[in-house]
Structure 1
């Protein structure tokens, strides 16, 4: 028995409206559910879809107390490389904390890293697993290191 894939991602946030603004403005999320004052789960919650059709990602946000340490634990969303400059402007305009990029091997894809208001780290990545593995394979065979 094995998993057939990702079901959903849940973020605990202090302010549902503020997080919804981030999801909609940066990721193009569409809200598909709002519990209002009902609490079928642990607290008030909203569900969003990011992407299209059967490949859409279900993201849930729940009202709660957050005290997250800032680590490299993150969720990454695929974006088009050409969209990165406009996305960086949107993220900055929302007052989010844009992080410096990490060292990369040439060709593995470009990214923007940012923390939301509650400390969750997001990555907007213009690349693919297939592309990254090809670059790593080439770098490993030539002795190149990340830098």
Structure 2
């Protein structure tokens, strides 16, 4: 039987606690807590799929990046470093991020498809995002994707 991503997080948490790795154990504990919160949100409790767990991990990683930036700007280097370290722990569970070139190529294909389908102007943005997002599937942040789509549509 294959282990789910949630099981892997729980096993890694146990190993981190046994290894007295405070940073890793607290990061994984918070992430599992976010997964559990997501599972009980809504009308009925349910088990999250690996894709849904990945989305939770990506959201948590984004929070760490934003907090690290805020701490760094506020002159609190120690806290910023801690947030970055937590983000690195979470990055181990996320798919490899797309390079700018890979992202650009996927968006270019999506722009071609959307404009061939008759989409133009501001409406093209939604059409391109709809085509590009499934192909990107968590390997690039939404803001990065949207910025690249805007850049390519402006040049089109």
Task: State the structure with bigger RCO (CA 8 A, min sep 6), 1 or 2.
Answer: 1
Instruction: Give the TM-score normalised by the residue count of structure 2.
Output: 0.30
| Structure 1 or 2: more helix by fraction | 2
Instruction: Give the TM-score normalised by the residue count of structure 1.
Output: 0.31
Select the structure of larger CA radius of gyration: 2
